[in-house]
Amino acid sequence: MSAWLDEVRWNEDGLIPAIAQEAATGQILMVAWMNREALALTAQEGHAVYWSRSRKKLWRKGEESGHRQKVLEIRLDCDEDVILLKVEQIGGIACHTGRHHCFFRVLRGGRWETVEPVLKSPESIYTA
């Protein structure tokens, strides 16, 4: 049943990068990491589960913010070392900064320029 997980080329830390792409628009929302358990749970539950390298634990996207990712499709690239999740982003915010996606800066004239607005302040998303 889990033979498909054996086809994934995990890195030396047992992880694989995962790209979350909004299915409806094609917008790349974010990049995170998955371990074997996170990928298996994502396939089983139908919502994105990642591995938090900083917290060293499983992280169900939206567990604190409510901004979950409903997974519509899981793809493996040709080298078997990158996962692509086609998702429906619940609440329209994928980034912890309160933006729609994490790629909100553009290199212009040798400087990073912020080009995407904050939709909701992180303080109001992550209340204690």
The model's pLDDT over 40-99, given as tens digits with 9 standing for 90+, comes to 999 999 999 999 999 999 999 998 888 999 999 999 999 999 999 999 999 999 999 999
Q: What integer best gives the mean pLDDT of the chain?
A: 95
pLDDT at 125: 86
- Is the pLDDT confidence value at 27 over 70? yes
Question: What pLDDT score was predicted for residue 89?
Answer: 97
- Write out the two tokens for 47: 């919502």
Residue 64: per-residue pLDDT? 87
| CA terminus-to-terminus distance, the chain | 40
pTM attached to this predicted model: 0.92
Nearest residue to 122 via CA among 102, 103, 85, 95: 95
